[in-house]
Chains A and B, each alone.
Chain A
Amino acid sequence: MAGGQERILRRRIKSVQATKKITKAMELIAASRIVKAMGRINDARPYFVSMSSVIEQFASSAGLPKSKYLGDPKVGARGLLVVTSDRGLCGSFNSAPLRFVERKLLSAKGAGEQYRILCVGKKGINFFGYRNIDLDLALLGVSERPTYEHARTVAKAVLDLFDSGAVTSVDIVTTRFYSAGSQKMEVIPLLPIDPATLVASGGGDSSLSFEVEPAPEEIIDPLMALFIEEKIFAYLLEASASEYAYKQRAMKSATENAEELVKKYTRIMNRARQDAITTEIMEIVGGAEALRSSDSEALDVD
């Protein structure tokens, strides 16, 4: 019956509208969280800038002493640190880095290269778990609000792996946050540190001769380790902000799709109702017609 179809459509519209309300709310929440996450990035910036300039001053005045963390990557197993989120509904935020790593692992199999994977975020951990890929680090609960403690844990795992000689280089696969409108998945080398990048900006002043206490050879390793820690922290913060940006976009398009659906269903529903009414009128008219003709027939007989 046509009336039945109308009822079904009415119910569906209601459910789409309810979903739309949820996605709209999630969009707004994500938008407000981007602002907060951006604030955290800004708060962390002075430290990072200062640290970079300290290292630069150090490098340009004393010359960098030898460190296990400095130099060109040697041949050997490589480490990949993958940053994903704990929750879904954020578009390609997780799928892009995970697909990248999967492709990398596939091609490595052919080339006989070895990879060790470190993973942050539930989505990535599940992804690798499902594929039976062993993880050297599986850290949850970071993406919502990364703290320095998280960065320290991640950095420790990365440095331990590097120190033990299990890997000779570590790259990070993460999403960089450039602005609220622009984020990009990138692969950035973490270890070993290329000494050229430390003095790249040329802001160091070789005329200053620093007193270094304790000796430069003693200070360099902890300083480099701290630098890595700080870098990881910066990337985690950016990834968190990016996640919200992706989420906002995903929820925005979901809201728009819901609107589209409501429009479409309403149109179909209206047509169905119209059809039902038309049919009813036709039936009534037909019925009346039939009655009248049968009446007149009866009269004729009379």
Chain B
Amino acid sequence: MAPSFQVHLLTPERPLYEGQGTSVSLRSGEGDIAFLANHAPFIGTVDICVVKIERDGEPTLYAAVHGGFVSVARNEVRVLADVAELANEIDLERAKAALAKAEAAGSHTNDSVLEASLRRAHVRISVSSTLAHSTYVA
């Protein structure tokens, strides 16, 4: 059984998850990174990505995070997300529509705003479908 540690997944408007976890993986500014218990102190940026929180004896949590910061200190991982949604809160239809819209508009421009919205849509959809998959298995 992997040792667990305190995980805070916070957004400015409300906390999304506060509890124990055995592993947190996400994409930081420099690449994918996973935190286990007793990770060295770390501060970094968080990209638009899927944050995966594995828990002891409980289903793994997936959240779509759209940028922010992560800090690790004294066996506590804090993800400060600008915007984040847990898998069950995502409106899949809306994300798909956003993806289609971004793709249609993005075929001839390469605008960073558009790219960001494309990635947000991708992340939302992948989080949402992971949830569908995992509940099916469970």
Complex Cα–Cα for A233 and B10 (A): 15
Is the Cβ of A226 less than 8 Å from the Cβ of B74? no
Q: Which residue of B lies closest to A49 (CB)?
A: B10
**CB-CB contacts of B29-66 with A at 8 A, as 1s and 0s?**
11000000000111111000000000000000000000
Q: Please tell me if the beta carbons of A40 and B78 are within 8 angstroms of each other in the complex.
A: no
> In the complex, how many angstroms separate the beta carbon of B38 from the nearest chain A beta carbon?
13
Residues of chain B within 8 A of A61, CB atoms compared: 41
**Chain B interfacial positions (CB closer than 8 Å to A):** 8, 10-15, 18, 28-30, 40-45, 68-69, 71, 73-74, 78, 80, 82-83
Q: Is the CB of A219 within 8 A of B43?
A: yes
Establish whether residues A46 and B10, one from each chain, have CB atoms under 8 Å apart when the complex forms: yes
Does A212 lie within 8 Å of B43, measured CB to CB? yes
**B15 contacts A46, C-beta separation under 8 Å:** yes
With A54-B80, A214-B29 known to touch, is A43 a contact of B14 (CB < 8 Å)? yes
Beta-carbon contact of A151 and B78 below 8 Å: no
Cβ contact within 8 Å between B43 and A57? yes
A46, B18: Cβ atoms closer than 8 Å? yes
Contacts of A44 in B (CB 8 A): 12-14
CA distance A48 to B42 in the complex (A): 19
Give the size of the chain A interface in residues (CB under 8 angstroms).
31
Q: How does the 8 Å CB contact mask read for A18-41 relative to B, with 1 for contact and 0 for none?
A: 000000000000000000000010
Instruction: Give B28's nearest chain A residue, CB to CB.
Output: A213
Question: Is A214's CB under 8 angstroms from B45's CB?
Answer: yes
Q: Are A40 and B45 in contact (CB under 8 A)?
A: no
* Chain B residues within an 8 Å CB radius of A205: 73-74
Asked whether A212 and B12 contact (CB < 8 A) given A50-B80, A51-B80, the answer is no
B83 to chain A, nearest CB (A): 8
A46-B10, A47-B80, A51-B80 known; A57+B41 contact, CB < 8 A: yes
Q: Would you call A165 an interface residue if the criterion is a C-beta within 8 Å of the partner chain's C-beta atoms?
A: no
Asked if A279 CB lies within 8 Å of chain B CBs, one says no
Residue pair B41, A151 in contact (C-beta under 8 Å): no
The smallest beta-carbon distance between B82 and chain A, in angstroms, is 8
* Residue in contact with A213 in the complex, picked from B11, B18, B30, CB distance below 8 Å: B30
Measured in the bound complex, the distance between the Cα atoms of B82 and A51 in whole Å is 12
A297 at the interface (CB under 8 A from B): no
The reply to whether B41 and A208 form a contact with Cβ atoms under 8 Å apart is yes
Contact assessment for A210 and B42 in the assembled complex, using a CB-CB cutoff below 8 Å: yes
Which residue on chain B has the smallest CB distance to residue A212? Answer: B43
Question: When A and B form their complex, which 6 residue pairs have the shortest distance between CB atoms, in order from nearest?
Answer: A43-B14, A213-B44, A47-B10, A54-B71, A210-B41, A208-B41
Count chain A CB atoms within 10 A of each CB in B42, B44, B71 and give the residue with the most.
B71
Report A63 CB to chain B, min CB distance, Å: 13
Partner of B69, one of A208, A211, A226: A226
| Contact yes or no, A222 B45, CB < 8 A | yes
Asked if A147 CB lies within 8 Å of chain B CBs, one says yes
Contacts of A222 in B (CB 8 A): 45
What is the CA–CA distance of A219 and B68 in the complex, to the nearest angstrom? 11
Contact B69 A54 (CB under 8 A): yes
> Can you list 9 A-B pairs with a CB-CB distance of less than 8 A?
A43-B13, A46-B15, A50-B10, A51-B69, A51-B80, A54-B69, A148-B11, A212-B43, A213-B28
Of A47, A58, A212, which is in contact with the most chain B CB atoms at under 10 Å from its CB? Answer: A47
Which residues of A sit under 8 angstroms from B43, Cβ to Cβ? Answer: 54, 57-58, 210-213, 219
